[in-house]
Amino acid sequence: MFTSSTCSLLRDQNTVLGVTGTTFCPEQFMNQYFQLFFYCLFLLVYRLHGRYHEMAPNVVPMDYTKDPDVKLPMQLIINMPELKENPFKERIVASFSEDGEGSLSFNDFVDMFSVLSEMAPRELKAIYAFKIYDFNTDNFICKADLEKTLNKLTREELTDEEITLVCEKVIEEADMDGDGKLGFADFENMISKAPDFLRYSLGNQVYQQKPF
């Protein structure tokens, strides 16, 4: 039954973490997480804490009852196996970082996995996708942002004229209010026409170590 397996897994996690007592105050903490944003399996939170701790064992505490203020820098996080090969890894991490420099606290870390998981709603994914593609963080996807996106997508295989052409065409197709760049409304409108958005882009990942 699921209960016994999850309980045993919890116990295993605790022993792996090397702590006998409660690390998390499970009830209140889990309540909060469940209510606030729970799109990934709740067990992931324990695993995520394990992964977060693994990245910097000396810095990340085991005990989160007192809500410590610990942030890991971007360099550590983009070396995670799920993100290492992704060309947008810096942007993904930066979009979830609250201090503008790309370092994530544990809350931001869980936030990131929550939005990138399968069950997050489309609107939320659209907002974060927009943030990811907005390289200069001016809340518009302008031509420079598009050029950077294309270079990352194609590993700079396209020639310069092709890139310019693609950027012009994209802005022509998606910009509706005529300001020469894509605002969030334009982006969302374009995404709504794409049936593949939830399937590929930022959707339907299974960011887990191993299935249970």
CB atoms inside a 10 Å sphere around CB 11: 10
Q: Which residues inside 123-152 make contact with other proteins, applying CB under 8 A?
A: 123-124, 127-131, 133, 136-140, 146, 149-150
CB of 36 to other proteins, least distance (A): 5
Helix ranges (H only) for the chain are 2-17, 26-37, 43-55, 74-77, 89-96, 106-115, 122-133, 143-154, 160-174, 184-192
Residue 28 DSSP class: H
**18 or 108: CB nearest other proteins:** 108
Closer Cβ to other proteins, 22 or 200, answer by number: 200
Cα–Cα distance for residue pair 85/79, rounded to 1 Å: 9
Interaction of residue 202 with other proteins, rule CB under 8 A:
yes
**Choices 16-24, 48-56, 57-65, 77-85 (CB under 8 A): range interacting with other proteins:** 77-85
Contacts of residue 22, defined as CB under 8 A and 6 or more positions apart, other chains included, come to 65
Q: Considering only residues 12, 16, 121, 209, which one is a binding residue for other proteins as defined by CB under 8 A?
A: 121
Stretch of 16-24, 53-61, 70-78, 174-182 lying at the interface with other proteins (CB under 8 A): 174-182
- Do residues 103 and 136 lie in contact, with contact meaning Cβ atoms separated by under 8 Å? no
Q: Which of residues 93-112 bind other proteins (CB under 8 A)?
A: 98-100, 107-108, 110-111
Shortest Å, Cβ 106 to other proteins: 9
Applying CB under 8 A, does 11 fall inside the site for other proteins? no
Q: 174 near 191, Cβ under 8 Å?
A: no
- Using rule CB under 8 A, residue 77 touches other proteins: no
Is the CB of residue 94 less than 8 Å from the CB of residue 102? yes
Should residue 78 be labelled a site residue for other proteins when binding is judged by CB under 8 A?
no
Site string (14-53) toward other proteins, x via CB under 8 A: ------------xx--xxx-xxxx-x-xx-----------
Residue 74, SS3?
A: helix
Q: Which stretch binds other proteins (CB under 8 A): 15-23, 49-57, 71-79, 189-197?
A: 189-197
Per DSSP, the three-state class of 182 is strand
